[in-house]
Chains A and B, each alone.
Chain A
Amino acid sequence: MSDLTLWMSALLAAAMLVSAVLSIVTARLPLAILSAGAVSLFASILFMLLGAPDVAMTEAAIGSGLTTFLFFFVLGRVGGNRHG
C-alpha cells in the first residue's frame, strides 16, 4: 500500500468516525440521518480505494442512498422534529 493510499484511508476512516459519533450525539434527527448516510458514503469511497468497486457500488446505492431515504421517510411519518 503506497503512502498516499494509506493517508487517504486514514483520513476517510477519521471522517467515518466523526460522522458516526455525530449521528449518535446530535439531538437534531435530520442531521443524525444525514451523518449516518455520510458514514456509508465515506465507507464506499474507502472500499473503492482498497480495490473493491463492486462492494463500493452496493454500499453507495443501498447504504447511503436507499437507507437514508427510508430513515427520512419514517421520520416524516412519525412526526418530524418533535424530539429535536
Chain B
Amino acid sequence: MVKRATALLLMVALGLLFATIAFDHRPDTELNRTALYYAENTAKDIGAQNIVTAIVVTYRGLDTLGEVTVLFLTAAIVGLILAAGRPGERGSFPPSGELLHTGSRLLAPLILLAGVYVFVNGHLTPGGGFQGGAILASAALLLLLTDPLHRFGNRLIRLVESLSGVAYVVAGLFGLVLAGGFLDNRFLPLGEFGALFSAGGIPVIYTLIGLKVGAEFASMLSSLSRTEKH
C-alpha cells in the first residue's frame, strides 16, 4: 500500500514538473547563437545538406566516435556473456512456414538496400549511419526468424565490424593530417553541394559507421538466437 502510494505520489510530482515546463514554454522566435552558427556555416564549411549529419559526423565527431565505442563494448559484452559455455550446440527447430520463408527471401535484400541507401545518403537526407545500420540489422533479424540456426558468416561480420572501426579512426586521422583536425571531413574535396559524392569525408565516415553498427547489432542478435532452447 505504501509502495503504491509512493509510486503514485512520484508520478503526480513528475506530472506537475512536466506541466509547469509545458505551460511555461514559449517557442523561440529565432535561433540561438550556436544553432545560428550551424545554420549559416554548415553549407559553406562542411558542404552537407543535412545539418544534423554535419553536426553528428564533423562538428561533434568525437562524440560519435564515443557512441560507436560504447555500442562496440555492449556488443562485445553481450557476445561474451551469451556465447560462453555453448560450444556450437545444434538442435532442430520446427520449420518456419512457407509464408515467412518466401517473404524473408524477397524482403531481406530490399531491406538491406534500404539500409545502405539511408547511410550512403546520410549527408543529403534524414538518417545516417546509426539508422542505416539498425535497418541492416533488421534484415539479419528477419533471416534469423526464418532459421534461428542460420549462420550468415560470423567471421565475415566480425571482419566487417573491426575493419570499419579501424577505418573510421584512420579517416579521422586523415582529417588531422590533411585538414583542420581530428575527424575533419575536408580531407576529401567538398564537391558540389547536394551531390551524392560531396561533403568531403562524410559519406565515407557514415558508410563505415553504418557497416559497423549493422555488424554489431547483427552479431548481438545472432548470439542471442544461439541461446534459444532446443
Contact = CB atoms under 8 A, between A and B. Distances in A.
Contacts of B27: 1
B205 interface: no
Nearest to A53: B126
A19 B27 CA distance: 28
Contact of A54 (B131, B221, B228): B131
A74 to B, nearest CB: 9
A4 to B, nearest CB: 17
Contacts of A54: 50, 52-53, 126-128, 131
A53 B141 contact: no
A77 interface: yes
- State which size class the interface on A falls in: 10 to 19
B131 A61 contact: yes
Interface string A36-65: 000000000000000001101110011001
Contacts of B219: none
B217 A66 contact: yes
Interface secondary structure of A, over-half rule: helix
Contacts of B217: 66
B131 A77 contact: no
Contacts of A65: 134, 138
Given A62-B134, A65-B134, A66-B217, A57 B227 contact: no
Interface in B132-175: 134-135, 137-138, 141
Nearest to A1: B27
Contacts of A73: 224-225
B118 interface: yes
Interface residues of B, number: 22
B130 interface: yes
B229 interface: yes
Contacts of B53: 54
B126 A77 contact: no
B141 A61 contact: no
A61 B135 contact: yes
Interface string A63-77: 001100110010011
Given A53-B126, A53-B127, A58 B224 contact: no
Contacts of B130: 58
A70 B135 CA distance: 15
B141 A66 contact: yes
Contact of B138 (A66, A70, A76): A66
A61 B128 contact: no
B1 to A, nearest CB: 18
Contact of B134 (A1, A61, A77): A61
B74 to A, nearest CB: 12
Interface of A: 1, 53-54, 56-58, 61-62, 65-66, 69-70, 73, 76-77
